[in-house]
Amino acid sequence: MTMKKTVLTIVAAFALICAAVAFKNAYSCEMPIKNRGIRDAINAGDLKTVFLGSSTFRANIDMPMMDEAYDGKVYDISYGGNELVATVIQYEEIRKRSDHEYGLFVFELGPMMLTQDVSLSDSRVIWDLSWEGKRELWKRMKESGNTDASMMYEYFVTSGMDDLITFPVTEPFYSTRYYKGAKTDETVSPGKDVLENEKFDISREEYVDAQIRAVSDIIKACRGDGQDFIFVESPCYHRLQEDEKYKECRERYLAILKENDAPFILAQDVSFDSGNAEYFEDMNHMSAKGRKEYTKELIRVLKEREDH
């Protein structure tokens, strides 16, 4: 009898684990997440502009202003540390799951993205991708040699599980922090002293081939779908933007775009003072004040392009 109970306990635990893992991997993309992510963007219907990038886009886009400019037909899909290989998969996922029309896809021209490892940078990526998308991203991570058994376990089993189990309690809290994928927090600058003294060293960053190929893949995928697109560089705090390695990476990124004859907007094309510490929360992300200022100018540049 006790042996039977022991076996039953192990079998029941195994079944519960399998059910949770299967649910997370197959159905997490269908969870009713509000105000952010691929599913909510698709549910928003036809859109004039879709931003797809990292937390830089999330922090630097003022959505109410965008809303006004694009009649509410705009969305910002972003993930913490999102990199280019994942961006390709996210774009393809949207096109596959959605029948809606999208006027313009705005991709992030983040020079340092070329040096990022292919990885799961944000557990929200796991949530938003379908099973096929998850498998594809894993395949790309594996091809880049960035996987091991422990990472596989984390990717397919534990990652995002916290959010899944606490979903009914945490989702209402999370959803108030975003509006159409962009941040609603009124973030403030930590001050010039902090930003001027913040240490960073990107001099040893190296290019990752998969990320370089991914830029061309994004362009190819958009052209294949007849989708209008553009790459936009968000201004960083002047110390980062003037860094030699940063400039070198930007040149490399631009070379790929030019090679593929792809449209882009550089930080310098938008009238914005990247030396103003009040505009930044840290080196990469803008404060609420900077976000408003930048969005106003970005809308103007995007509209000008539209008119041409």
Partner 1 sequence: MSLVSLPFYIFMCVLLLLYYRVRQKDQWKVLLLAGLFFYVWSDPFMIIFLLISVFATWKLMLNPVKSHFIWVLVINLGILIAFKYSVNLGVKDLAAPLGISYYTFMTIGYAHDCYDKKIEPQRDLFRYALFVSFFPQMTQGPIGVYQEMMPQLEEYHGFDPDNIKKGAYRILIGIFKKMVIAGRVAYYIDTVYSDPEGFPGLTLIIATFFYLIELYADFSGYMDIVCGISKMMGINLKENFKRPYLSKNIPEYWTRWHISLNEWYKTHLFMPCVTSGFNRNFAKGLAKVFRKAKKGTLRLILPTIIVWITTGIWHGARLSYLGWGVYFAIVMLLSFTTQSYVKKLNEKIHWNKDNVFVKVFQVVRTFVIVGIGEVIFRSESFSDAVAIFRKIVTDTRINASSIAQAMTPFGNGNQAAASVLILSVLILAQLIIEIAKERDEKAFTGHRYIYALAMMVTIVLFGVSGASNFMYQTF
Kindly tell me which of 189 and 241 has the beta carbon lying closer to partner 1: 189
Per CB under 8 A, does 122 bind partner 1? yes
Question: Which residue's CB is nearer to partner 1, number 55 or number 216?
Answer: 55
State the minimum distance, in angstroms, from the CB of residue 257 to partner 1. Answer: 29
Q: Which two tokens stand for residue 95?
A: 């096109």
Q: Which of residues 75-104 bind partner 1 (CB under 8 A)?
A: 80
Pick between residue 15 and residue 255 the one whose CB is nearest to partner 1.
Answer: 15
Identity of the residue, 163 or 293, whose beta carbon is nearer to partner 1 in the bound complex: 163
Q: Which residue, 164 or 267, is less far from partner 1 as judged by CB?
A: 164
* Interface with partner 1, residue 22, by CB under 8 A: no
Site for partner 1 in 250-289 (CB under 8 A): none
Which one of 66-74, 105-113, 146-154, 292-300 is the stretch in contact with partner 1 (CB under 8 A)? 146-154
Q: Is 13 in the site for partner 1 (CB under 8 A)?
A: yes
What number of chain residues touch partner 1 (CB under 8 A)?
A: 33
The correct pick among 44, 95, 146, 174 for binding partner 1 (CB under 8 A) is 174
Asked whether position 184 contacts partner 1 by CB under 8 A, the answer is no
* Interaction site with partner 1 (CB under 8 A): 2-3, 5-6, 8-10, 12-13, 16-17, 20-21, 55, 80, 122-124, 150, 153-154, 157-158, 161-163, 165-166, 169-170, 173-174, 177
